[in-house]
Amino acid sequence: MFAFDRLVRAVDDWAAAHPAVPVLIQIGSGDYEPTTAAFVRMMPPAVYQQRIRDARLFVAHAGMGSIIAAIEAGKPLLMMPRRFDQGEHTTDHQFATLAKFAHRDGLHTATTIAELHGRIDALLADAGAPPAPIAPFASDELIGRVKAFIHGNDRG
Amino acid sequence: MAARQIRILAVASGGGHWVQLLRLRPAWVGCEVAYATVHPDSAVEVPGARFFSFRDASRKNKAAFAVVALQLFRAVAAVRPDVVVTTGSAPALLAVVFGRLFGARTLWIDSIANSEVMSSSGLRARRLAHQCLTQWPDLAADPVPRYWGAVL
């Protein structure tokens, strides 16, 4: 995954302005290393999922992994889309993802740093409803049709 | 004598691609499945299955593709799958191509993240994979990509 230094820096800046709140950032391959927030490059899946469950607020890029992880943990997510023009992704598709998922309870969005800082403050004061749960697996329709393809029964 | 189990190679890049692949697991219950993804730590999420990892690569980092190609060729050659299923991203196209070389049927499922247009690798997959899906009905076209439902 590409660096998202803009988000890491924004959250680290928020952490510096709110020293009483513990902040942990997974920075991936980013160049910017936080000076206030604790950080790791990458967490194993079990640690990542536990940290989301333990957090008061989960902040991430507008990626499907983050969205699904938040929903499965029943934890509100504040997401910021990666921008193609900042070299944060190969396209602007995270804005498309945002448009389709932002209406769901428990999924919140910010597209600017100022918005991000404001939403963090607001969500820590009142997290609002958690995301509605989803089934543990994909829709029956998709599973059924993939299964049929696997078994060669999918002509047409 | 019972027929042998169908061999699946399920491939996904990290993050959302991998999470979506895992949500499809009921589709290959009863098959012999091997997984290939980017983070070696992901192996704990699929205990008991053969597991391969490959380097993260994208159009921004084409130098990594030679390494990824070798890694995915080795995985396909080791598994000899009957079916390759993938949720992308771009490196998984190599798994589709190598899978076909070994006689596998291949299925591309474009990420649900791509809600306005298919991913560029998904667009390529329309011609490379036996079947190509979008998870958004508005993006379905004739003959591909088909809409067969979504992971959530």
In DSSP notation, A60-113 reads EES-HHHHHHHHHHT--EEEE---GGGTSSSSSHHHHHHHHHTTSTTEEE-SSH
Mean pLDDT over each residue of chain B, to the nearest integer: 95
Q: What is the pTM of this model?
A: 0.94
Residue B2 lies in a domain: no
Whether A35 shows a pLDDT value over 60: the answer reads: yes
Residue A138 neighbours by CB under 8 Å, 6+ apart? B20, B23, B24, B26, B27, B149, B150, B151, B152
In chain A, the residue whose alpha carbon lies closest to the alpha carbon of B82 is A150
| C-beta separation of B57 from B116 below 8 A | no
Is residue A156 a part of any domain in this protein? no
The pair of structure tokens assigned to A92 is 């602007």
The pair of structure tokens assigned to A97 is 């993802």
CA distance A152 to chain B (A): 9
How confident is the model at residue B62, as a pLDDT? Answer: 73
Cβ contact B15–A63 (<8 Å): yes
The answer to the question of residue B15 being in a domain is: yes
- Does a structural domain hold residue A93? yes
Q: Which pLDDT score is estimated for A153?
A: 76
Kind and range of the H or E run holding A14:
helix A5-17
Structural domain contains residue B64: yes
Say if residue B49 is exposed, middle or buried (CB neighbours under 10 Å; 0-12, 13-18, 19+). Answer: middle
The domain total for chain A is 1
Q: Is the pLDDT of residue A156 over 50?
A: no
Structure confidence at residue B65 (pLDDT): 84
Q: Mean pLDDT throughout A24-38?
A: 97
State ipTM.
0.96
Which pLDDT value is given to residue A125?
97
Q: The CATH number of the domain where A53 resides is what? A: 3.40.50.2000
- Is B75 a domain residue? yes
B51 domain residue, yes or no:
yes
Please state, in angstroms and rounded to a whole number, the distance separating the CA atoms of residues A149 and A141. Answer: 12
Question: What total number of domains does chain B contain?
Answer: 1
Contacts of B151 in chain A (CB under 8 A): 138-139, 142
Q: What residue in A sits closest to B112 (Cα-Cα)?
A: A64
- Domain-located, residue B73: yes
Q: Are B106 and B96 in contact (CB under 8 A)?
A: yes
Q: Which amino acid is at B113?
A: A
d(CA A136, CA A140): 11
Is A40 part of the contact surface with chain B (CB cutoff 8 Å)?
no
Do the domain assignments include residue A155?
A: no
Q: Is A51 among the domain residues?
A: yes
- pLDDT per residue over B48-93, tens digit each? 999 999 998 877 777 788 899 999 999 999 999 999 999 999 999 9
Range of the domain at A53: 5-150
Q: Is residue B14 part of a domain?
A: yes
Residue of A nearest to B118 (CA): A93
3-state secondary structure B98-127: HHHHCCCEEEEECCCCCCCCCCHHHHHHHH
What is the span of the domain harbouring residue B135? 7-147
